[in-house]
Chains A and B, each alone.
Chain A
Amino acid sequence: MSEVLKVSGVTQRFGGLVALDNISIHIGQGEIVGIIGPNGAGKTTLFNVITGIYHPTEGQVFLEDTEITTYKTHEIAKAGFARTFQNIRLFGKLSVMDNVIAGMHTRRKTNLFDAIFQTGRRRREGREAQEKAEKLLKLMDLWEDRHSLASSLPYGHQRRLEIARALAAEPKLLLLDEPAAGMNEQETEELREMVLQLKQMGLTIFLIEHDMKFVMNICERIYVLNHGVLIAQGTPAQVSQNQAVIEAYLGEED
């Protein structure tokens, strides 16, 4: 099984604060892997390191065989990682359709010259983008909303649109930051089905989630992070019986 993502010995410090301490993880082609942990454990920070928003103090990040530790965010996206955000970040004044087409940025080539001189490439790409967006929107059940402003969508739809936008980039790895947050039970169930569908399409997924049922149901492997330290990893069954994990979660409650 070839590895899509490999994080090796990553440490991230902010001033005196150690947000991530010597983290090593790997994700193989076609896997769905979850990362859980109490609030402030460093999960989103890890996503930010992987997607180049932060550059780690120590350690390396690989996409397949390429080291991307020092890549900029947009270069990493082009190389093949796409993500969603914990607090949804859509292009609010663009339509649902345009959000998805914007997501195809790295897969299209129209440049300023094509734009101004209305070249054939521009027209052809425009048509292809429409068709591809239609597929993605239907997949994420957003087709009816296609011409609404992204900011006007209900919450659950916004989450799904973020996923559709990330998919539009045709990523090798999809990173989902709390995709079910704020969703009710039914919406979560719909989301679960969509994610499973994505897996069947051969996508590799790495997700942060607080909803335990969701994670346990869907992930093949789970990493557990606490205070920036990786305290456990394994199958959902292994992790849920791990003493350190139980303590970390119990410790959070009191």
Chain B
Amino acid sequence: MFLQQLINGITIGSTYALVAIGYSMVFGVLELINFANGSVYMLGGYLTLMLYTGLVGSFGLSFGLGLLLTALVGYTIDRFGLRRLREKKVPKIAGLITTLGFSQIIENAVRIFFGSETKPYPNMLDFGQVTFGNVTITSSQVIILMISILLMLLTSVTVYRTKMGKAMLAVSQSQEASQLMGINVNGIISLTFMISSILAAIAGTLVGMYYQNIDASMGASVGMKALASAVLGGVGVLPGAMVGGVLMGIFETLGASYISSGYRDAISFAILIIVILFKPSGLFGRKQINKV
């Protein structure tokens, strides 16, 4: 029972981690919580499904096209919203409200164009299951976990090992200095948004297949959990977001089965609040000395 719940928790948690990375990356470069990230996650799941059932017929192709489109949406949020605010040097809160606005637009556009009812989702990852004693592992779980780990590795390598990633880290330290060093700051920020959108869209598709259904309100709740995961791990620290996501998944599955299923989400938030109170910088974040 415990082991089974643990496995379920890790699976769902790894998808939270993908979304959490997006929050963490955007926060890293802009010091901004991108509230549209949860909606982008939901949108990614929808686009794959709608392209698959409506137009293309090939799941792989739909998936690829879906990712491309969500990346474009991520780009749009920055290019036509946030970048203009940066140019005007307005208070950060305006950026935050802008992402809330985009979140509204995306969520309601999905309701209008695709309908607000829960839709069945095909599971392309179902190749059977293995049972050890009373623990069952499905192929979906294995594949989701593998894809997530692969993406986490890929993102980490991109951010910490490539020139582009180093530019991102530079921008997160100081936009002005990066500009002077010849880094295309706006380009890097756009890229950050596209990567975080793609990760969220992949997560949205994986979760759609895992639960075999999807609805327009899933963005809000998963978005919040992923944001909480990012903070739990330490905002701006990628491995933190990953561990935070997985832990969040584990907490809520175990909490749901051992404490009360009604309080599933409350448990993870309660843990988050307790962690922040004792270690405000999150599990892996660095403490800052306030300079005067």
Chain A: residues with CB nearer than 8 A to chain B?
14, 44, 48, 53, 85-86
Question: Can you list 7 A-B pairs, Cβ within 8 angstroms, ordered by A?
Answer: A14-B289, A44-B292, A48-B292, A53-B290, A53-B292, A85-B292, A86-B292
A85 and B292 alpha carbons, distance in the complex (Å) = 8
Residue of A nearest to B290 (CB): A53
Residue of B nearest to A45 (CB): B292
**A86: chain B residues within 8 A (beta carbon):** 292
A85 and B290 alpha carbons, distance in the complex (Å) = 14
List B residues 272-292 near A (Cβ within 8 Å). Answer: 289-290, 292
Residue of B nearest to A44 (CB): B292
Residue of A nearest to B289 (CB): A14
Residue of B nearest to A53 (CB): B292
Q: How far is the CB of B90 from chain A (nearest CB, A)?
A: 14
Chain B: residues with CB nearer than 8 A to chain A?
289-290, 292
**A48: chain B residues within 8 A (beta carbon):** 292
**B292: chain A residues within 8 A (beta carbon):** 44, 48, 53, 85-86
A5 and B229 alpha carbons, distance in the complex (Å) = 48
A48 and B290 alpha carbons, distance in the complex (Å) = 11
Q: How far is the CB of A17 from chain B (nearest CB, A)?
A: 10
A86 and B289 alpha carbons, distance in the complex (Å) = 17
**B290: chain A residues within 8 A (beta carbon):** 53
Q: How far is the CB of A188 from chain B (nearest CB, A)?
A: 24
Q: How far is the CB of B246 from chain A (nearest CB, A)?
A: 31
A14 and B288 alpha carbons, distance in the complex (Å) = 11
Q: How far is the CB of A207 from chain B (nearest CB, A)?
A: 16
Q: How far is the CB of B93 from chain A (nearest CB, A)?
A: 13
**A44: chain B residues within 8 A (beta carbon):** 292
A206 and B22 alpha carbons, distance in the complex (Å) = 49
**A85: chain B residues within 8 A (beta carbon):** 292
Closest CB pairs A-B (n = 7): A53-B292, A48-B292, A14-B289, A85-B292, A44-B292, A53-B290, A86-B292
A234 and B290 alpha carbons, distance in the complex (Å) = 33
**B289: chain A residues within 8 A (beta carbon):** 14
Q: How far is the CB of B286 from chain A (nearest CB, A)?
A: 11
A52 and B292 alpha carbons, distance in the complex (Å) = 12
A186 and B289 alpha carbons, distance in the complex (Å) = 37
A28 and B289 alpha carbons, distance in the complex (Å) = 32
Q: How far is the CB of A56 from chain B (nearest CB, A)?
A: 14
A44 and B290 alpha carbons, distance in the complex (Å) = 13
Q: How far is the CB of A16 from chain B (nearest CB, A)?
A: 13
Residue of B nearest to A51 (CB): B292
A159 and B292 alpha carbons, distance in the complex (Å) = 16
Q: How far is the CB of A157 from chain B (nearest CB, A)?
A: 22
Q: How far is the CB of A49 from chain B (nearest CB, A)?
A: 11
A51 and B236 alpha carbons, distance in the complex (Å) = 32
**A14: chain B residues within 8 A (beta carbon):** 289
A48 and B289 alpha carbons, distance in the complex (Å) = 12
A86 and B292 alpha carbons, distance in the complex (Å) = 8
A44 and B291 alpha carbons, distance in the complex (Å) = 10
A53 and B290 alpha carbons, distance in the complex (Å) = 9
Q: How far is the CB of A59 from chain B (nearest CB, A)?
A: 19
Q: How far is the CB of A79 from chain B (nearest CB, A)?
A: 19
Q: How far is the CB of A92 from chain B (nearest CB, A)?
A: 11
Q: How far is the CB of A166 from chain B (nearest CB, A)?
A: 15
Residue of B nearest to A73 (CB): B292
Residue of B nearest to A89 (CB): B292
**A53: chain B residues within 8 A (beta carbon):** 290, 292
Q: How far is the CB of B134 from chain A (nearest CB, A)?
A: 50
A86 and B291 alpha carbons, distance in the complex (Å) = 11
A48 and B292 alpha carbons, distance in the complex (Å) = 8
A99 and B284 alpha carbons, distance in the complex (Å) = 39
A14 and B290 alpha carbons, distance in the complex (Å) = 12
A175 and B225 alpha carbons, distance in the complex (Å) = 47
Residue of B nearest to A15 (CB): B289
A81 and B39 alpha carbons, distance in the complex (Å) = 51
Q: How far is the CB of A60 from chain B (nearest CB, A)?
A: 21
Q: How far is the CB of B110 from chain A (nearest CB, A)?
A: 39
Q: How far is the CB of B85 from chain A (nearest CB, A)?
A: 19
